[in-house]
Amino acid sequence: MNADQFKSEMIDLLPRLRRFALTLTKSGPDADDLLQDACSAALQKWKQYDASQPLDRWMFRILRNHWISEIRKRKVRQGEGQVPADEETVELSVQSTAIDVLAAQQVRQKVTALGTDLAQPLMLVCAEGFSYKEAAEMLDVPIGTVMSRIHRARKLLLTEMNAQENIQ
């Protein structure tokens, strides 16, 4: 793979990468900054990319690692010292009709309420289409852990959504 091919494939991934950046940062401007930093790092290190592996997995890992570093930097700047690598946030972004936006906001709130451990594997597998194995590799956890977390997340979301319907 040459540099032009790499850039072209990376550009094709930008919408998915931005969506995941929004999942991590919960902020459009922060997501854009994170995406720019991750893409810049990838372009600088593109020769290290193993073309036998899917580019999206490599890029998602870079994006996640940059976010973990950013969280740690922010905590240090605020005088709070070291922060665990898994302390991240989650957001889902959807643009469509007003009803779709409202529904997406409700789902986003429910996904955010799940916590990082459940939300990240759920987003990677259900929203981004990665396999359990790929998500496990990206999150650096066993595949059984990913499967268990997704099961618990789905179960909690279903319970919450059913409870909300009963209220309305």
pLDDT tens across 70-126, in order?
888 877 666 654 444 444 444 344 445 677 677 777 777 788 788 888 888 888 888
What's the mean pLDDT in 60-67? Answer: 91
- Listing DSSP states for 94-126 in one string gives --SSHHHHHHHHHHHHHHHHH-HHHHHHHIIII
CATH number of 84-168: 1.10.10.10
In this prediction, residue 89 carries a pLDDT of 41
In this prediction, residue 92 carries a pLDDT of 40
In this prediction, residue 85 carries a pLDDT of 47
CATH number of 1-83: 1.10.1740.10
Residues of each domain in the chain carrying CATH 1.10.1740.10:
1-83
In this prediction, residue 80 carries a pLDDT of 54
Residues of each domain in the chain carrying CATH 1.10.10.10:
84-168
- Nearest-CA neighbor of 112 among 162, 159, 156, 63? 156
In this prediction, residue 168 carries a pLDDT of 60
How many whole angstroms separate alpha carbon 34 and alpha carbon 89?
13
What pTM does this model have? 0.55
- Tens-digit pLDDT profile for residues 113-162: 888 888 888 888 888 888 888 888 888 899 999 999 999 998 988 888 78
Residue 8 CB-density burial (10 A; 0-12 exposed, 13-18 middle, 19+ buried): exposed
- Alpha carbon of residue 61 to chain centroid: 9
**DSSP 8-state class, residue 47:** G
> Helices (DSSP H) in 26-142: which residue ranges?
28-44, 55-77, 98-114, 116-122, 132-139
- Helix, strand, coil abundance in the chain, percent, nearest 5: 75, 0, 25
- Tens-digit pLDDT profile for residues 22-53: 888 888 899 999 999 999 999 999 899 988 88
